[in-house]
Amino acid sequence: MKKFICIVDAYSTGAELAPIFKKNGWSCIHIQSSSEIPQEYQSTFKHETFDFLISPKNESKDEFLKIAEELKALFPEYIIPGTETGIYVADLLSSLVGTTGNSINTSALRRNKYSMQEALKKAGINSIPQFLAESVEQAKKWASELGKWPVVVKPVDSAGADSVRFCNTIDEVEDAFNKIYGKKNKLGLTNKNVLLQERLNGQQYIVNAVSINGQHLITEIWSDDKKEVENASLICEREILLPYLGDVQDQLVEYMEKSLTILGIENGPSHSELMMTDSGPVLIETAARMQGTIMHHAVVSALGYSHVTLTAERYTKPEQFVSRLGKKYMLKTQLQCITLASEFEGVVKVNNCDELLKSLPSYFGMMHTPKAGDNIYRTTDLFTNPGIIYLCHQDQKQIDVDHTTIRRYEKQGKLFELA
């Protein structure tokens, strides 16, 4: 008898899961968390990889109660999120159908950035000083009383650095608040309030994990170099895959294992961003899903697995996954992820990335670069970058040389000719 798995919003990296489940003999059901797929994710959805497609008529709880009743007749093994927008609905349906997952009672801690930090604070571990404002007056008052600049202003439940801004004055706080409050964010949700936080200082890191019944396997640790942009916050510069062992890594692992438990992440993948500060690691935010916009085959080349393959293994081969717990990964080769950035806007006339980059000694692959006729935007967040390049090589110095070459081409405007 075939086993069924439901994936809610199998977009971005989540689109890679269904083919792996199908390869292992499972049937896959796709569930949308909303009647319309958010525009940013439409191009990544692979409907042909699913056996059944379910979309709600609206986003009411009654509609998902009906969907839960439909699912009960199919006896799915699991209901999991594919990307950020699917986290709450996956938790809700899992609780209604009775499948193993993450509790609906703690779901807000994994979606709401304010609730997330409050949970860490209550548990007595490092967290970010913050305030949830429902009016511009409240936002200005808190920022003024904090007396530390810049202040971070952002939506409470979006993703991909959407509308995140570093503000250095009260006027900038007011402007940032007005651009967020009442508007729809990149996940299609209306911003009913605005989050203000103290800015953390230090080196940023990424820690990915996959959990099974409350036990956490740290799958990757990356240093996450960022670049500040005007009238926004930080954009990705490059991510460097680090060895598991190291003084900093030890602190990150210990802190993250505690944090994942506090946030109720018991089953499935998680993607966390942290800052190493003078007082130790501090969580910026955790998402109870796989890291977005990754070329998981590049990670497989460096580790023998990826966040995607281990997420699938946790469900299809749990005994094999459990045998990995407590083991430390070893790098087979060096790997870096380079995020392109544009200071210009316009229509792409010619994309020269293939011609210029494929000959680099450490080149592994690229994703999401625009085609001729596509618009290119000034990069202010994850959604407006013009492409991602993976560099893989035994020699870290070669990767660094190729990274410098890419940035030189970028600065000279050679990667894209604009009309």
Q: How many residues does the chain have?
A: 419
pTM confidence score? 0.92
**Average pLDDT value for the chain:** 94
Q: Of 354-363, 372-381, 384-393, 402-411, which range is least confident?
A: 372-381
What DSSP assignment string belongs to 155-201?
Answer: -SS--TTTT-EEE-SHHHHHHHHHHHTTSB-TTS-B--SEEEEEPP-
Whether 42 and 10 have beta carbons less than 8 Å apart is answered as: no
Kindly state the average pLDDT of the residues 340-362. 93
Contacts of 411 (CB under 8 A, 6+ apart): none
Kindly state the average pLDDT of the residues 68-97. 96
Whether 391 and 360 have beta carbons less than 8 Å apart is answered as: yes
Whether 133 and 150 have beta carbons less than 8 Å apart is answered as: no
Check residue 233 and give its pLDDT.
61
Check residue 122 and give its pLDDT.
97
Check residue 161 and give its pLDDT.
66
Kindly state the average pLDDT of the residues 86-109. 96
Check residue 191 and give its pLDDT.
85
Kindly state the average pLDDT of the residues 302-323. 98
b/e sequence 19-48, b meaning 16+ C-beta within 10 Å: ebbeeeebbbbbbbbbeebbebbeebbeee
181-236 pLDDT tens trace: 888 877 777 888 999 999 999 999 999 999 999 999 999 999 999 887 776 567 88
Check residue 184 and give its pLDDT.
84
Residue 209 CA to residue 101 CA, distance in Å, equals: 15
